[in-house]
Amino acid sequence: MKTVQQLMLARAEAGTVTVSPDETVYHALMLMANHNTGAVMVVENGHMVGIFTERDYARKVILMGRCSLDTKIREIMTRELLTINPETTLEECMALMTKWHIRHLPVLSEGHLIGIVSMRDVVQAIISKQDETIQDLEKYIMGQGYAR
């Protein structure tokens, strides 16, 4: 089973996008757009204190009639986080995301934020692995790629 660490190495991401809880929602949305991501981690004094997602924006800003230009991240961020570690398998990630209806999992190593894994990352990796398995089975059935 592929692990989060293997996924993160294959992705070779430049780093996790973070914001301060004192930043505005508008600033966070600009970062999310610039980095093509659906979530940013909220970090204060080097410690992860929450996550801000597109879902937070839709449910806690737009539907509540707030303005993204003056609403602070700390007012609407999700504080209770489910986290994973680099050794977590992608299957475990999928199970957690499905059970808790979440799309992003922060990755911690020795208590420090080292990345974030999205549902898209997990699904793409699982589909890729399944495609490889199917190709291997087809080769096996056709007698290709094996010594005779």
pLDDT tens-digit series, residues 17-26: 999 999 999 9
**What is the CB neighbour count within 10 angstroms for residue 72?**
15
pLDDT, residue 146, reads 60
Q: Model confidence over 31-89: pLDDT tens digits?
A: 999 999 999 999 999 899 999 999 999 999 989 999 999 999 999 999 999 999 999 99
Give residue 12's pLDDT band: very low, low, confident or very high (50, 70, 90). Answer: low
pLDDT, residue 24, reads 98
Tokens read off for 70: 């003056």
Total-model pTM:
0.82
Tokens read off for 7: 């996924």
Q: Which fold has domain 4-142?
A: CBS-domain (3.10.580)
Q: Is 113 exposed, middle or buried (0-12, 13-18, 19+ CB in 10 A)?
A: middle
Q: Does residue 147 sit in helix, strand or coil?
A: coil
Residue for token pair 């597109």: 54
pLDDT at 148 over 60: no
pLDDT, residue 147, reads 55
**What is the CB neighbour count within 10 angstroms for residue 83?**
15
Through-space distance between the first and last CA atoms of the chain, rounded to whole angstroms: 29
pLDDT at 14 over 80: no
